[in-house]
Amino acid sequence: MIPFLTQSMIALGVGFLMDLILGDPYFLPHPIRWIGKGIEIGEALIRSCFRKTPQGELAGGVLLACCIMFFSFGIPFGIIWALGKISPFLSLVAESIMCYQILAIKALKTESTKVYKKLAEDDIEGARYQVSMIVGRDTESLSMQQIAKATVETIAENTSDGTVAPLLFIAIGGAPLGFLYKSINTMDSMIGYKNDRYLYFGRFAAKLDDVANYIPARVSALLMILAALFLGMDYKNAFHIFLRDRYNHASPNSAQTESVCAGALQIQLAGDAYYFSKLYKKKTIGDAVRSIEYEDIARANQLLYGTAWIGIVLCLIGMGVIQWLI
């Protein structure tokens, strides 16, 4: 029997490398998509059972979140445990594959690079379509600069959500806890909106996501500053903008990494944006030392990968130290 922490440490390292090499092949089934489908089905069932009042929708949203988290943690835990009874090797293989599926480093780079290529070709309609695949805002009338900005913001925010936060949760509780985190993150992206449909139903999921990401977002920001140093970017300005603008967002977490990215690249992010045809007034993040350009997408991806490598190394070292101590 492989000790739990040792198995999770090996699985995390293997899963990390698998993600960097393989990314997210579209032809393969993916557990995160299954979680998303579960959220859709669960929402439909729960809405049919609860009264359409603020209290009823709030209670329904809490029930949905609890059910999704229970199954997202319980199913991978059960699979790893059951395979461990048969063969420790099978259990390790299963958890390694799960860790690979939880991380989304190469997938984020791949999708953002599609936007980069369209902008490089001056194909604004193609760029608008590609960026619509990775952002929640309205993209039909975005300019070339706005498309680049939206893409950089997504990379910066997901450096935490898709990379450092999953690494931390897996380091603490293995793949099952990693899937629990991803279920919270997926619920927030699907129902955590402040619109008429989800104002009450998605409130619990949105608050849960704020709590789950509170520490990871700040750890991600600090690791990103360190990555900026190693990559020869403006790490001093990154730290300055981080201290000044890290709360310039409705979310307590999103501006943590966005502020570092803006400072490191010497650009200005955020500002007003349209969501569901409604203008939302938003504070800016960073200073417009220079105009944003499509090359900033590639630079943001460099920060993503630098932060990811620092994160995995520190997580594996931490897990190894804890294993040695116990």
pTM for the full model?
0.93
**Which residues in the chain belong to E strands, given as ranges?**
269-270, 273-275, 278-280, 284-285
pLDDT of 4 over the 80 cut: no
114-129 tens-digit pLDDT: 999 999 999 999 999 9
pLDDT at 280: 66
285 forms bridges with which residues in the sheet?
269
**278 in helix, strand or coil?**
strand
C-alpha span between 256 and 264 (Å, rounded): 13
pLDDT of 13 over the 90 cut: yes
Single-letter code of the amino acid located at 14: V
Backbone phi, psi, residue 279, to 5°: -80, 130
pLDDT at 214: 96
pLDDT at 1: 58
47-97 tens-digit pLDDT: 988 878 889 999 999 999 999 999 999 999 999 999 999 999 999 999 999
pLDDT of 273 over the 90 cut: no
Residues 148-165 have a mean pLDDT of 94
pLDDT at 276: 62
Name the band, by pLDDT with cuts 50, 70 and 90, for residue 279.
Answer: low
Cβ within 8 Å of residue 209, ≥6 positions away: 184, 185, 187, 188, 192
pLDDT at 314: 97
Range of lowest pLDDT (7-16, 132-141, 233-242): 132-141
Mean pLDDT of the chain: 92
pLDDT at 155: 96
Q: Count structural domains, the chain.
A: 1
C-alpha span between 84 and 71 (Å, rounded): 19
Residues 130-141 have a mean pLDDT of 82
**202 in helix, strand or coil?**
coil
Where is pLDDT greater, at 277 or 306?
A: 306
Please give the structure tokens belonging to residue 137: 């805002």
pLDDT at 324: 86
pLDDT at 84: 93
Residues 10-27 have a mean pLDDT of 92
C-beta of residue 218 within 8 angstroms of C-beta of residue 256:
yes
Percent of the chain with pLDDT over 70: 97
Q: How many residues does the chain have?
A: 326
pLDDT of 274 over the 70 cut: no
Residues 236-247 have a mean pLDDT of 96
Which residue has tokens 């600069």? 145
273 forms bridges with which residues in the sheet?
280
Domain that holds residue 94: 4-325
Cβ within 8 Å of residue 155, ≥6 positions away: 108, 109, 112, 261, 297, 300, 301, 303, 304
pLDDT of 205 over the 90 cut: yes
Q: How buried is 240 (Cβ within 10 angstroms: 0-12 exposed, 13-18 middle, 19+ buried)?
A: middle
